[in-house]
Amino acid sequence: KVIEFDVKNNAKDKIEYLEITVVYYNNGYIVGVESEYGAGIEPNENTLIKIGYPLDGEYKDIIFDDYKIYINEACSYNKEIRDER
pLDDT in tens, 4-16: 999 999 988 899 9
pTM score: 0.81
Does residue 82 surpass a pLDDT of 70? no
Give the model's confidence band at 64: pLDDT under 50 very low, under 70 low, under 90 confident, else very high.
Answer: very high
Higher pLDDT, 4 or 77: 4
Does residue 80 surpass a pLDDT of 80? no
Considering all CA atoms of the chain, what is the largest pairwise distance in Å, rounded to the nearest integer? 57
Does residue 81 surpass a pLDDT of 80? no
DSSP state of 16: -
Cα Rg of the chain (Å, integer) = 17
Contact status, residue 9 vs residue 42, Cβ threshold 8 Å? yes
Under 8 Å CB-to-CB from 83, ≥6 apart: which residues? none
